[in-house]
Structure formats: C-alpha cells, structure tokens
Structure 1
Amino acid sequence: MSAAGKTSAVVIGASGGIGGAFEAALIEEGVFDVVHGFARSRTGAQHLDLLDEASIAVAAARVAEGPAPSLVIVATGLLHEGDRGPEKSLGDLDPQWLAKVHAVNAIGPVLVAKHFLPIMPRGGRAVFAALSARVGSIADNRLGGWYGYRASKAALNMMVRNLAIEEHRRNSRAIVVALHPGTVDTGLSGPFQGNVPPGRLFDRDRAALQLLDVIEGLKVTDSGGLFDFEGKEIPF
C-alpha cells in the first residue's frame, strides 16, 4: 500500500493470451487503483521488450511515479517461433535458438525483477510472480526433449528462488513465486494441443482467474516456490 493508500498491479506480456486475460481480470475485479499492462507489441508508455533492458527500466520508472505496485506478474514465454520449435532430440540443438529461448524465458523475467522489485513496497504483502512451466521441473522430467524450453524454465525457477531470498531481506512479507498455468489455449500451446487430454486444455480467462486465486492464497512461506494452477507445489 502506498503512502496515499492506493495500490497498483503490473502485467508484463499483456498482449499475450494469458497476459491479456490477467490484465482484463485485474481491471474488472477493481482491487487495484491502477493496472499497468506492458508488452513488446505495444507502443508508447505501454512498451516493454524483455530483450531490451532499457525499455524495462523506462517502464519501471513510469510505474514508480505511483502508486507503488503490490503485484507484478510476468506472463511471457517463448516455446516456438516461425519454423523453429522445441527440440525433439539432441540433434535438433541450435546454439542461437537456445540463447534466444533463455533470453526470453529466464533472463528477461529476472531483468524485470531487477527494475520492478525495488519499486514494490518495503513493507506489507507484495507478490512478484513469473509464469514458468511444469516441464521446467528437473524432478518431474520423465520424457526428455524440449531442451531449450525445459532448461530455460528450470533457470527461471532458480532465478525465482534467488529473488525470493534477496527480496525477503528487503520486505519480510514479500512473496516471489513461479507459476505453472497448465496448458492454455493460446498461440504458445497451439501446435501441441493435440496431445492434451480431454478437459486439460484451459481457456485463457479461466487460467488467469485460477492463477489469481492461487496468488491470493499464497503465504510468505511459499516464496521461492513453483506452484500449479491448483495451488499445488511442484518440485524443482
């Protein structure tokens, strides 16, 4: 809560399927006085490119004008692009693609944290959440493949754990988590929806509301963890 008694929320990746649903839900619920939505495809004050740290800093400076954000959600991710998709085997590995996937899925979110965590409240409940994935769990990996996506989400999970430890020193009631939304009907999952069991492909609006419910139920002791859409912790 800011000195003026007002709060704000931030959604990074607000032009995406889940990100847009997060933004719409937060605006509709009206819990926050201001909801900021940023995306690479947006222009002007709403522009933020995860691959351009300067744009992240500019966006954070704008939000810092107040009220302070007590919720920041990074709803971004890269699984496929053009004719490039997740690797099925070792022979598919390409260093440039691996670097880009890590830049978007792991480095980008932690750079958002670098600029946004310092402008979040120093006291009281505040949540920084980044979308991760169950396939980023090393303990849960039984199929192999998807080298870049798995490794980049595992890296994000480690970043989240680090951030949680450091942010706790600044605000003992802060919560930093990674969230697994399940398989959501968006462009990211589009090419792979044929393998999804019946009833396990989620509408983007439902997915956003589920995760907002999970966020609402988080405790300080949950900080640093990875949680699915049902609020169940996923082992790293």
Structure 2
Amino acid sequence: MKVLIFGGSGGIGHSLCTQLLSHQPEIDLHATYHSHKPNDLGSGLTWHNIDITAEDDISKLAAQFSSLDWIINAIGLLHTPSNGPEKNLQSCQSEFFLENIKVNALPTLLIAKHFSACLKASSHPRFVTISAKVGSIEDNRLGGWYSYRSSKAALNMLIKNISIEWSRRIPKACILSIHPGTTDTPLSKPFQANVPDGKLFEPDKVASDILHIIEKANPEITGSFLSYDGQRLPW
C-alpha cells in the first residue's frame, strides 16, 4: 500500500506516520513537511519538502507518483503569533481571514486537482482531510472564530463537491472530511483551558481513530463529514 500524508511533521500527521509504520511494516509511506523535517521516524518514510499553498509545489510532487492508495491532508491553521480566532466582527482582519482560507481550504482543492490520476490508478483510493466540527454551519451555536469557521466550512464544501465529481470519474474512491476532536497539539494549546474533561485527546488516539475510519471506509459513504468516532456530523 502506498500512502501520502500532507503535514507529516505536525502533531496529528506525525502520529499517523508513526502508527502506519508500526502497524503496516510493508507500507510505502510518504509525507510532507514545510519548515522542519522530523528525524525520529527512521528510514521507512520518504519525506518531501513543499509549500502546501503553492500549486506548483503540489503539481511537481504529484508528478513523482504514478499511483497512490491513500492521501491524508493533516495540515491546518488556527492561530499565528500575531492573530487568533476572532471573538467579534471588530477583531476580523482581511489578511488573517485569507490566510485561513489559503491554508485550511485551498490545499485540498489543489491536491484533488493534481493527484486525481494517482488515486484513479488505485483499486481502493481514499482521500481524507482533517476538518473541524466548528466548520458545521448547522451546528454553530456560539458564533465567533470567523476566519477558522469559514475556512473549514469552505473545506467541507470542497470535500462534498470533489466527492460528487469523483463518483463519476473515480467510482472506487472514498473522500471524507473528518473532525478529529480537540487534540493536544500546538494548534489547540492556547485554548485547552476551556476543553471539558476527557475531551482533550492525545495525537496517538486521534491518529488511531482516523486510521480506523479510513480502513472501514467505502465508496458508499464518500463525501461524508464524520467525527472521530465515526458519527456523521451536520454540514
């Protein structure tokens, strides 16, 4: 099996790599990083340095593969050193809003565009993107977090749209949007004080949940928005 993980240097992505290497020793595993390449996963993994928001980088990476069975996009942005989730309209800044769209939504579109031929060559293609429950329009009860919510809602629409097109072009494919739960990573660190007891998950648990969903996935559920426990979430 050949797998490519975008964001293998991040908290969830790194745990996905670790578990795949330990549980599937015959796997042909590839992962991307941007700034820092992990050096603790041994020689069983091929690293690729790319900018996930640059279409030329994604296109060049896709050209290196003739086929892939699974693609997992584990990259996401919630805050930067100077900006965080907005509490009100007055906190919104156009540059931060666009940066959220650029990192949280655009890459999935570009990956699907350039890697569709690679997945089509597989007998069991899977394409999964890490989303967030706060991207659900129907479930939004609190407001705020304008940039992050909007980017994840846009991501979910992309997942749905791609799944419809691929149901005709790649009928064996299953494409999913997965909410991993609040994970103990640098992304969630500034907001963990408000997480209810028992709802802050270690990356290894999250990775295990995601892989379990992918292993069970089939084309009948393509285009779904799922929680880490496999339950469907409202769009």
- Tell me the TM-score normalised to structure 1 length: 0.92
| 1:189 CA drift (Å) | 0.3
Deviation at 1:89, TM superposition (A): 0.4
Q: What is the DSSP-based 3-state SS (H/G/I as helix, E as strand, rest coil) of the residue aligned with 1:179?
A: strand
Structure 1: stretches of 5+ with no match in the other structure? 1-6
Residue 198 of structure 1 corresponds to: 197
Deviation, 1:121, is 3.1
Preserved CA contact (<8 Å) 2:30 2:47? no
Q: Deviations along 1:130-150, whole A, 9 cap, x unmatched?
A: 000000000000000000000
Distance, in Å, in 2 between the alignment partners of 1:31 and 1:178 is: 27
Q: Are 1:96 and 2:95 an aligned pair?
A: yes
Residue 90 of structure 2 aligns with an amino acid whose one-letter code is G
Aligned to 2:214: 215
Residue 19 of structure 1 aligns with which residue? 13
The answer as to whether partners of 1:73 and 1:130 remain within 8 angstroms in 2 is yes
Where 2:34 maps in the other structure, the secondary structure is coil
Q: Secondary structure at the match of 1:46?
A: strand
Q: How many residues align?
A: 227
In 2: Cα distance, 1:200 partner to 1:86 partner: 20
- TM-score, normalising length: structure 2: 0.92
Contact 2:164–2:223, Cα closer than 8 Å, also in 1: yes
Give 1:33 deviation, angstroms.
3.0
Question: Quick one: structure 1 residues 173 and 32, their matched pair in 2 at CA, closer, same or farther if it must change by over 3 Å?
Answer: farther
CA distance in 2, matches of 1:49, 1:19: 16
Aligned to 2:136: 137
1:225 aligned onto 2:227: no
Shift >4 Å, 4+ stretches: 42-45
Matched residue SS, 1:234: coil
Q: 1:32 to 1:164 in 2, by over 3 A?
A: farther
User: RMSD across aligned C-alpha pairs, in angstroms?
Assistant: 1.5
Q: CA deviation at 1:214?
A: 1.2
What stretches of structure 2 of length at least 5 have no aligned partner? 38-45
1:60 paired residue among 55, 58, 62:
62
CA pair 97-171 structure 1, distance change in 2 beyond 3 A: same
**Per-residue deviation at 1:54?**
1.1
Instruction: Evaluate the alpha carbon distance shift between residue 12 and residue 123 of structure 1 in structure 2; reply closer, same or farther with a 3 A threshold.
Output: closer
Cα shift readout 1:13-39 (whole Å, capped 9, x = no counterpart) = 011000111111111121653000112
Residue identity in the other structure for 2:48: Q
- 1:45-84 alignment, distance < 5 Å: 46-64=48-66, 68-84=67-83
Whether the 8 Å contact between 2:31 and 2:47 is mirrored in structure 1 is no
- The corresponding residue for 1:152 is 151
Q: Specify the SS of the correspondent of 2:85.
A: coil
Aligned residue number for residue 3 of structure 2: 9
Cα shift at 1:52:
1.2
Greater displacement, 191-200 / 34-43: 34-43
Task: Specify which of 30, 33, 38 is matched with residue 27 of structure 2.
Answer: 33
In 2, the alpha carbon distance for the partners of 1:24 and 1:180 equals 20
Answer yes or no: is the 8 Å Cα contact 2:130–2:178 preserved in 1. yes
Distance in 1, matches of 2:145 and 2:230, equals 25
| Corresponding residue of 1:3 | none
User: What residue is the counterpart of 1:167 in the other structure?
Assistant: 166
Residue 176 of structure 1 aligns to a residue in which SS? Answer: strand
Q: What letter is aligned with 2:96?
A: W
